[in-house]
Each structure stands twice: as C-alpha cells, then as structure tokens.
Structure 1
Amino acid sequence: MPIKIPDSLPATAVLESENIFVMTEYRAMHQDIRPLNVLILNLMPTKVITENQLLRKLSNTPLQIKVEFLQTASYTPQHVDTEHMESFYTTFEQVKDRWFDGLIITGAPLAFVPYEEVHYWKELCKIMEWAKTHVHSTMHICWGALAGLYYHFGIPTVEYPEKLSGVYSNTVLKKSSPLFRGFDDVFNAPHSREVGILKEDVDKVPELELIADSEAGGPTILKTTDSKNFFVLCHLEYDANTLELEYKRDFEKGLNPHIPYHYYPDDDPTKEPVVTWRSAGQLLFSNWLNYYVYQTTPYDIGNK
C-alpha cells in the first residue's frame, strides 16, 4: 500500500525515483479506506532531508498513511525555504483540536542547550502534553527522545567524553516485543550524539521499559508500559551518507571529529560507506505502525 503525501512535496519525486509507491491526495480521495493519520514534528534544520528519510521508512508497510508535517510557531527555522514551510507545514494551533493515530518528534542539534533555554521548549512541552490525549502512539527520535524523557519523567541527560558517532551494535533486551519482530538479537544502528541517559535513571521509572541498549551509548530504545510513547536514541532512519555529511561538516568547521565508528571500510573516509542498518530501520517503523498504531487505534480517532 502507498504512503499519502501532498502532490507537490519534493519527496514525492525522490521516492518515486526509488520505486516507492506514493499516492497523490486526489487518488486517495477515491479510495474507501481510512488512512492512518501521522503527524511529524520536524525539528531538524535539514527539513527536506529529514522528510525524505522518514517517508522512506513509513512507506514500507501495507498500510495507507496520511502524513502531515508540523513546525514550531515560536521559532522560525533559518536554513529552509520559507515557501516550502508555508506550503507543506502546519502549526500546533491549526491541529490542536484534531486527533492523530501517530506522532513522530524528530531530533534537533541542541545537545548542549538546557531544555528550558530552547527557543521552542514551552511549545514543545505543550505539544507533548496534548499528545497524551490526542495521539494514539508517539515516537520520539534522538534529541526528541531525550527531551521527551526529560519532560515526561524528569530523566536528565549526561554528556559523553566525546561525540558518539558511527554505526554501533545494539542488543534487543525484550525479544518478545512486537517492535522487534524480524530483528536479529543484535542489530546495527547509526548513533550521532554528544549526550545520552543512564540506565540507573531509567530503572527508577516504573512506567518505562528499556527494550534495547548498546555497550557504547547505553540505553537505545525505550517505551512506556502502555505503549503510548517510544523513545529511540539511535538513527535507524539515516541514509547511507548521513553520517558522512555530518563528519565532513564538522571537519570543515575545524572540530577535528573522529572518523565515524564502523562506518567506512577500513575506517577509510575515501571509501564508500557500507549500510548495515537498513533492514532494521524498515522493521522498526513498520512494526511500530502495525502493532502499536494500526492494530489498536480506533476507526473513529476523534471518538476514543
């Protein structure tokens, strides 16, 4: 089944060129199927790249999904075309009286900014609080996951001695979880962050389950016991070249970054990166949508 997105969204042409089935709004209107309504709060400065990454993952499912993009009203992004934002993004005030099957909150390059000093922190808190009653299940990614864990449970972040950048092995701790159906016991995933959380802080919160972790970066994937919130600290949505672009960006800034771990063959940046996380990424999003959204969300999402 296809993913339903606006006809003129740039990702449409990109996904079609990759032989991914997308459906225009006009065609979807003529099908008697209720799509899953998924809202994406895109906090990344690279809006279009992040759109493409997430839509690739959401498209790999037999479900029809209607995707809408949300932006913050309290902070205007500096590195994206204004026309693009006006054409394809909405604000919280425009959706606050609606209900959604799923919500995805992306990461943001804010590792060293105290949460209360983030320009849009109050607005983000309002959205996360609203999601408790208006969203069936929410997936938080990287900084979005750290922010969600801090907001909902007061879990603090800890700074690493050096940036965690590369492809690391992660261990499935709860093999019976439907989120990991089809996963190997150990799976590779890109990590790109300067901060994380401690397992002992997670253990203090009875509403949280730690279901995957990594030796290098600690807790990797967590969920609430009611499955309404998922917190993913790795980047299984990353493209093959995302870590490379980040590495070259930091290198050009004179930050002397380490070569991303286990990413280039022989740790040689002149060689093409090897993707070892694509299947896990497809499974993560497909399983979340199927088992935690589609299978349990009511047909009339506005009448729960």
Structure 2
Amino acid sequence: MPLRLPDRLPAIEILKRENIFVMDDSRAHMQDIRPLRIAVLNLMPLKITTETDLVRLLSNTPLQLEISFMKLKSHTPKNTPVEHMMMFYKEFEELRTQKFDGMIITGAPLETIPFEEVGYWDEMQEIFDWARTHVTSTLYICWAAQAGLYHFYGIPKHPLAKKMFGIFPTVPLEPELSIFRGFDDVFRMPQSRHTEVRREDINEVGDLEIIAESGESGVSMVMSRGGREFFITGHLEYAPDTLDKEYRRDLGKRDDVELPRHYYFEDDPEKGPRVTWRAHANLFFSNWINYYVYQETPFNIEDIG
C-alpha cells in the first residue's frame, strides 16, 4: 500500500522516479480504509530534503499512511519557500485537537544552544507534552531526542571535544525487541552532532532503557514507556549523499571540519560514499510502524490518550 501525501508535495515526483508507490489525497479518497495518521514536526533547515528522506523510509510498509506536516508558530524557516510552508504545513495550533497514530520530531541545528535559550523552546515543550496524550508512538531524532530526554527526564547534553561525524557501527542491546526484528548483530547509523547524552545519566532514570549503543559514538537509541517513545541520537533517515554535502559545505569555512568516519570508499571523498546503513534504516522504520504504531494504536483514533 502507498503513502498518502498532500497533492503536489515535491517528494511525490521524486519518489515516483524511484519506483516508490505513493498517492496523493485525491486518489486516496477513493479507498475505503482508515489510514494510519503520522505527524511530522520538521525542524531541519532544508525541509523539502528532510520530507523526502522520511517519506522514502515510511513508504516501505504495506499500510496506508496519511502524513501531516507540522510547523511552529514561534519560528519562521529561512531556507524553505514561504509558499511551500503555507501549502503543505499546518501550525501546531491547527492540529492540537487531533489525534495521531505516530509522530516524528526531527533534529535541528541548535545543539550548542542551551535548551532554555532556544527561541521556540516553550512551544516545543508544549508539543512534547501534547504528544504523550495525542500520539500512540513518537520518534525523537537527534536534537529532538536530546530535547525530549531533557524535558521529560532532566537528562543533560554534554559538549563533545570534536564533532561526531560519520557512519558508526552500533549494537542492539535488546535484540529481542520488535523494533530490532530482522536486524543483524551490528548495524550502522549516521551521526552528525556536537553534543551527546551519556549512559551514566540515563541509567539514573528507571523509565529509560538504552536499547542500542556504539563503542565510538556512544548512546544511539533510548526507549521509554514500552515503545511509546524512541529517542534516536543519529540520522538513520539520511540519504546516501547527506554527509557528503555537509562535509563539502563546511570545508574551508570552518577550522574544525574532519572527514566523516567510515563513510567514503577508502576515506577518499572523490570516490564517493559507501552506503552501509540504508537496509537497517528501512527495517527500523517498518518495524516502528508495524509493531509500535499499527499493532498498538486503537481502531478508533479518538481513543488514543
């Protein structure tokens, strides 16, 4: 079954060229089925790119998904056309009375700023609390993972001596969990961050469970409330060329730019990236949708809470 997306969303044509089955709202109305409702709060600067990355992964499921893109009232994006935001995004105030089967909250380029100094921190906290009563399962990615852990559990973020940048071998610590069904003993996760959350802080909180970890990049996945929340420190959703674009963007503009680790063939940017994480990325998102959204959400969406 396809994803159900807003008419004329740019991701539709991109994914059709990749032979991914998507349908717009007009065609979806002809099907007599309740789709799973997924909200995406997209905080990344290049919103069209992030939309496409997430939709690509969410498409790998036999279920019909209805995607709603959320935006903040207290923040105006600088890198996405106003027309795109007006056409495809709705403010939190417009969606707050609705229920959703799943939600994804993305990262944001705010790592070095204290949470309380983020311009839209108050609205973010309101959305975090709202998700607990209006969403069956929520994925928090990168900065959102750190922000969610801080908001709900007081877990601090710690600055790193240098940027965690590359593709890192990661181990499932609870391989019997449904989120890891079909996973190998080791999978790889893209990381691109200047701060971290630490095992010793998380272990102090009984409601939190570290379920994946890397010897190089540290805590990778944290689960709470039996899978109602997942906090992902990296970017499984990244496209093959995302780190390459980031590396070339910063090269020459900053003095702390290093080659992304375990990424390029023979560590040579001219030979291009070696893609080692996409299979597990697809599996992770499919498992989340199947086992923690579809299998857990009530048939009557208004019963979520």
TM-score for both structures, normalised by structure 2:
0.98
Q: Distance in 2 between matches of 1:60 and 1:54?
A: 11
Aligned to 2:266: 266
Unaligned 5+ residue runs, structure 2?
none
Q: Secondary structure at the match of 2:227?
A: coil
The correspondence of residues 115-126 of structure 1 with structure 2, limited to 5 A, is 115-126=115-126
The correspondence of residues 222-241 of structure 1 with structure 2, limited to 5 A, is 222-241=222-241
Asked whether the 8 Å contact 1:100–1:134 carries over to 2, the reply is yes
Q: Distance in 2 between matches of 1:205 and 1:121?
A: 23
Shift of 1:226: 2.5
Deviations 1:110-143 (A, max 9, x none): 1100000111100000000011111111000000
Shift of 1:223: 0.7
The correspondence of residues 1-304 of structure 1 with structure 2, limited to 5 A, is 1-304=1-304
Q: Distance in 1 between matches of 2:252 and 2:290?
A: 42
Shift of 1:254: 3.0
Q: Secondary structure at the match of 1:226?
A: helix
Q: Distance in 1 between matches of 2:146 and 2:255?
A: 24
Higher mean displacement: 22-31 or 7-16: 22-31
Shift of 1:27: 1.4
Asked whether the 8 Å contact 1:169–1:214 carries over to 2, the reply is yes
Asked whether the 8 Å contact 1:165–1:260 carries over to 2, the reply is yes
Q: Distance in 1 between matches of 2:120 and 2:225?
A: 28
Q: Distance in 2 between matches of 1:43 and 1:195?
A: 18
Q: Distance in 1 between matches of 2:27 and 2:52?
A: 21
Asked whether the 8 Å contact 1:209–1:225 carries over to 2, the reply is no
Deviations 1:174-198 (A, max 9, x none): 0100000111111011111111111
Q: Secondary structure at the match of 2:301?
A: coil
Unaligned 5+ residue runs, structure 1?
none
Q: How many pairs were matched up?
A: 304
Shift of 1:7: 1.7
Shift of 1:225: 3.4
Deviations 1:41-92 (A, max 9, x none): 0000110000000000000001100001001110101111000000000001
Deviations 1:6-63 (A, max 9, x none): 1200000000000000011111111111000000000001100000000000000011
Q: Distance in 2 between matches of 1:132 and 1:6?
A: 26
Letter of the 1:258 counterpart: E
Identity of aligned residues (%): 49
Q: Which runs of 4+ in 1 moved over 2 A?
A: none
Q: Distance in 1 between matches of 2:184 and 2:16?
A: 30
Shift of 1:256: 4.2
Q: Secondary structure at the match of 1:259?
A: coil
Q: Secondary structure at the match of 1:270?
A: helix
Q: Distance in 1 between matches of 2:233 and 2:180?
A: 15
Q: Distance in 1 between matches of 2:254 and 2:164?
A: 18
Letter of the 1:109 counterpart: P
Letter of the 1:228 counterpart: R
Shift of 1:303: 2.6
Asked whether the 8 Å contact 2:162–2:256 carries over to 1, the reply is no
Asked whether the 8 Å contact 2:5–2:25 carries over to 1, the reply is yes
Q: Distance in 2 between matches of 1:214 and 1:303?
A: 38
TM-score for both structures, normalised by structure 1:
0.98
Q: Secondary structure at the match of 1:140?
A: strand
Q: Distance in 2 between matches of 1:11 and 1:42?
A: 14
Q: Secondary structure at the match of 1:302?
A: helix
Asked whether the 8 Å contact 1:250–1:256 carries over to 2, the reply is no
Q: Distance in 1 between matches of 2:225 and 2:137?
A: 12
Q: Distance in 2 between matches of 1:291 and 1:73?
A: 32
Q: Distance in 2 between matches of 1:255 and 1:25?
A: 47
Cα 1:300/1:280, change in 2 over 3 Å = same
